[in-house]
Amino acid sequence: MKITMAHGSGGKATSELISEIFAKNFNDPVLDRMEDSAVVPGCAKIAVTTDSFVVTPLFFPGGDIGRLCVCGTVNDLLMSGAQPRYLTCGFILEEGAETGDLQRIAASMASTAKEAGVRIVAGDTKVVEGSGGLYINTAGVGFLHAGAAIGPERCREGDAILLSGNLGDHHAAILSKRMGIENTIRSDCAPLTEMVGRLLAGGVEVHAMRDVTRGGLGTVLNEFASSSGCRMELDEGRIPVSAQVRGFCGILGLDPLYMGNEGKMIAVVAPGGAEKALACMRKSRYGADAAVIGRVGPKGESAVLLKTTVGGTRVVGPLYGEGLPRIC
Amino acid sequence: MTDIRAYLKNYGGPPLRLMEVCGTHTAQISRCGIAGMLSPAIRLISGPGCPVCVTVTAYIDRLVELSLEPGTTVLTFGDLLRVRGSRRSLNDARAAGGRVRMVYSPMDSLRIASAAKSGRFVFAAVGFETTAPVYAMLLEEAEQADIRNLRLLTSLKTMPPVIDWICKNQGGIDGFLAPGHVSVITGSRAFEPLSRKYGIPFVVSGFSGEQILASLYALVRRRGKAGVLNLYPSAVTAEGNREAQRAVAHYFAPCDAAWRGMGKIAGSGLALRAPFARFDAGSLGLDDDRSFNPRCRCAKVLTGAVSPPECPLFGGACTPRTPQGACMVSQEGSCYNYFVGGRGSR
Amino acid sequence: MCVALPGKVVKVDGRKATVDFSGNTLVAEAGLVKVKPGDDVLVHAGCILQVLTKKEGNEMREILKELEAL
């Protein structure tokens, strides 16, 4: 059934939509009360984040916009050293969107939220004119761990830089269809709750964490270099990229260092903890290909340097432009 | 390979200036960090090897105009989207309501044009000898399928004439890294006459870091000696791809072409032959070259006369985020690679 | 100047060929070179430019010999 303006009017059509799709899938006692606000237990210090999701296509190999919106929000909270607790979701539906798709998306959100240990406690729906598009905005709340002092400014010379797995999967999965290239690349879209939990409970001194999303590894590490004032030194040969993604990048002239991911993170840890941190990542569901990819260099030159496989060194700058496929 | 690296690092002979004339070589040299692996006596110069960088502003202006014509869509490689003509780029045109679409292959435009018979499509046909055969294939299929709503705006250029121009007007180059994929089509023999004329070694190089290092090594060892050495024999032969050459000659004829910063170079371009005029979107006469910023030195950078940091705008007004000229816009541009990769500075 | 990548021909269908690049396949124009399944080819902008050979090149060996003679 197609979404029409009636679904957004606030009347019967709207409440049916909400109860049959959202409430049914999210299955949350606070949400079910359908009050003006969700009133939930809190904490002394909370982390709050918001994000919007506009990906097309809505369904792609390895995920969908629903899974993506939960993972993206949850991961942002985790990276700040918070335990993700609550999510809200506002849907903007264009006329012509399919309720069947919405069911699948809501179901996906519910299962991802369960995996991530969060509750979806509030939502909203609006319908606008258009041609079937669908956008989701989320807000996330997490409880800060006591004593959590994690941030890029804490990076020190000698720290180890870890990457939790292969680069470029999400970006390649989305772009493949658009460019008429067939492969079995799947988005890496995943909540990193388990991985971060293991790291923080694993007796490792974690100085900084960030998920590697839009703009890729190159962008994140430049932000770290800038915040800490330290040089970031990477070893090209240690950076994990699947053979398939490498091939994909080769066809289009893309660089995996700048491609988007949705289930990968960087952790900067004190030198003694590199082995343990790596073990924590590898034990986690989404960390099979985790690797130590470099170290933090001295303060004074906030650049990202890459030792190339051929033995040279190059500067990895922040991403400029859109990272479009090249031919030339 | 370790010995080649050591040799290049420790080279203490007479200072040498070696030029690559292939944008993909420029990008790879930067990506692999090769400049920093060489002795200071070996200086790498980037030449006009990026077809996007050498496109004159009049060509971009015409594409922008076409994209804004009702019913016309410009189809293009991604590289061209951010390059500004005398005022605007195709991205700017798109923001102003122009129809611009990026494709991976020129062949995609056949499918697109067939699916939208009432639309008019123009493909931004830029490239060197490597891409010209692809356009020939496109035209062959367009003829066979009787496609009437697809035309090309061409800015096709060939390498030997511009290398000749550089040697004649600039000089000071001690060796050329010959373009690897251009040579697949033209054959390594295509560079023999130039090599002999100026007494400069040419080495046809592949694209991996190792291949480029080996080729640089060969150029250093052969300094002062004419001759073309083919170090990419898996893909390049002496005579090249005959079928591709034939296909190109069938549809295109050599013409004079305007290169950004160099003016007109005789016989350095390819234009559609008269029998195929119906596929031409008005490519002739697009010679005007007006820099967006009058202080832009792309012209001198493209020929290696000036290195990127010697341009007054480099790193200040001109950065990848705020590019003033083509050399900074294109990911194969000298200035872009210098800025981003720190080329030569390590 | 040209991003071109080596791949393996999987299937030939008239003037088109399906080429595999480490698990990525696309259909490329095959009108410029005679190809057959199993061939290693160089593909640029959706077009096969050349069949690749295994030639390492005597030239390369020559170069290395010169190096030894240093």
* Averaged pLDDT of chain A: 93
Strands A230-235 and A291-299: antiparallel
Asked if A285 contacts A198 with a C-beta cutoff of 8 angstroms, the reply is no
pLDDT in the model for residue B313: 93
CA distance linking residue A266 with residue A268, whole number of Å: 7
Supply C20's token pair. Answer: 């595999």
Q: Where in chain A is the domain with CATH 3.90.650.10?
A: 152-315
The helix (run of H) or strand (run of E) holding residue A71 is helix A65-79
pLDDT in the model for residue A322: 61
- Give the B window 84-143 contacts with A, CB below 8 Å: 102, 104, 108, 126-127, 131
Rg of chain C on CA atoms, in Å: 16
Query: Which residue carries 């899974």 as its tokens?
Result: A67
Residue of A166, A183, A248 to mutate when probing chain C, most C C-beta within 10 A: A183
pLDDT in the model for residue A327: 46
Print the domain residue range for C42.
Answer: 4-68
Nearest to C24 among A181, A253, A326 (CB): A181
Q: Which tens digits make up the pLDDT trace of A214-226?
A: 889 999 999 999 9
Q: Which tens digits make up the pLDDT trace of A43-55?
A: 999 999 999 999 9
Q: Is the pLDDT of residue A326 over 60?
A: no
Supply B262's token pair. Answer: 């160099």
- Please answer yes or no on whether B234 and C3 come within 8 Å at the CB atom: no
- Please answer yes or no on whether A328 and B346 come within 8 Å at the CB atom: no
Q: Is the pLDDT of residue A66 over 90?
A: yes
Q: Is the pLDDT of residue B346 over 50?
A: no
Strands B120-127 and B150-157: parallel
Shortest alpha-carbon distance between residue C67 and chain B (Å): 8
Q: Does the A5-144 domain belong in CATH 3.40.47.10?
A: no
Q: Which whole number is the average pLDDT over B76-94?
A: 90
Q: Is the pLDDT of residue B345 over 70?
A: no
- Please answer yes or no on whether C55 and B233 come within 8 Å at the CB atom: yes
Q: Is the pLDDT of residue B1 over 70?
A: no
Shortest alpha-carbon distance between residue A171 and chain C (Å): 14
Side chain identity at residue B256, one-letter code:
D
List the CATH number of the domain containing C24. 2.30.30.140
Q: Which tens digits make up the pLDDT trace of A132-168?
A: 999 999 999 999 987 768 899 999 999 999 999 999 9
Residue of B8, B134, B223, B332 to mutate when probing chain C, most C C-beta within 10 A: B134
Asked if B266 contacts B161 with a C-beta cutoff of 8 angstroms, the reply is yes
- Please tell me the total count of domains within chain C: 1
Name every chain A residue with its beta carbon within 8 A of the beta carbon of B32: 308-310, 312, 314
Nearest to B78 among A255, A315, A326 (CB): A326
Helices and strands: H and E segment counts in chain B: 14, 11
Q: Is the pLDDT of residue B84 over 90?
A: no
Q: Is the pLDDT of residue B324 over 90?
A: no
Shortest alpha-carbon distance between residue B134 and chain C (Å): 6
- Please answer yes or no on whether B131 and C44 come within 8 Å at the CB atom: yes
Supply B304's token pair. Answer: 């290696």
Q: Which of B148, B78, B145, B129 is nearest to B106 (CA)?
A: B78
Q: Which tens digits make up the pLDDT trace of A266-319?
A: 999 999 999 999 999 999 999 999 999 999 999 998 999 999 999 999 999 888
Structural domains for chain B: 1-293 (3.40.50.11740), 298-336 (no CATH)
Q: Is the pLDDT of residue B342 over 70?
A: no
pLDDT in the model for residue C24: 97
pTM over the 0.95 mark: no
CB count within 10 Å of CB C8 equals 16
Q: Which tens digits make up the pLDDT trace of A169-219?
A: 999 999 998 888 999 999 999 999 999 999 999 889 999 999 998 889 999
CA distance linking residue A280 with residue A204, whole number of Å: 9
pLDDT > 90 fraction of chain A, expressed in percent and rounded: 85
List residues in chain C touching B: CB distance below 8 A.
1-4, 28-29, 31-33, 42, 44-47, 49-50, 52-57, 59-60, 63-64, 66-67, 70
Q: Is the pLDDT of residue C3 over 90?
A: no
* Averaged pLDDT of chain B: 92
Name every chain B residue with its beta carbon within 8 A of the beta carbon of C33: 241, 243
> Which of the pair, B312 or B79, is modelled with greater confidence?
B312
| Residue B315 phi, psi (nearest 5) | 80, -15
> Which of the pair, C62 or B205, is modelled with greater confidence?
B205
pLDDT in the model for residue A148: 65
Interface partners of chain C (CB pairs < 8 Å, 3 or more) are A, B
Nearest to C47 among B51, B105, B218 (CB): B105
Q: Does the A152-315 domain belong in CATH 3.40.640.10?
A: no
- Please answer yes or no on whether C45 and B106 come within 8 Å at the CB atom: yes
Q: Which whole number is the average pLDDT over C46-65?
A: 81
Q: Is the pLDDT of residue B328 over 90?
A: no
CA distance linking residue C38 with residue A177, whole number of Å: 25
Q: Which tens digits make up the pLDDT trace of B200-221?
A: 999 999 999 999 999 999 999 9
Burial class (CB in 10 A: 0-12, 13-18, 19+), A111: middle
> Which of the pair, B260 or B178, is modelled with greater confidence?
B178
pLDDT in the model for residue A113: 97
Strands B201-204 and B175-178: parallel
Shortest alpha-carbon distance between residue A251 and chain C (Å): 6
Q: Is the pLDDT of residue C69 over 90?
A: no
Name every chain C residue with its beta carbon within 8 A of the beta carbon of B51: 1
Supply A179's token pair. Answer: 């460019």
pLDDT band at A83 (very low <50, low <70, confident <90, very high): very high
| Residue C57 phi, psi (nearest 5) | 100, 130
Q: What is the ipTM of this complex?
A: 0.90
Shortest alpha-carbon distance between residue B234 and chain C (Å): 5
Q: Is the pLDDT of residue A76 over 80?
A: yes
What separation in angstroms does the CA of A140 have from each of A75, A91, A326? 10, 15, 37
pLDDT in the model for residue A100: 96
Q: Which whole number is the average pLDDT over B31-36?
A: 93
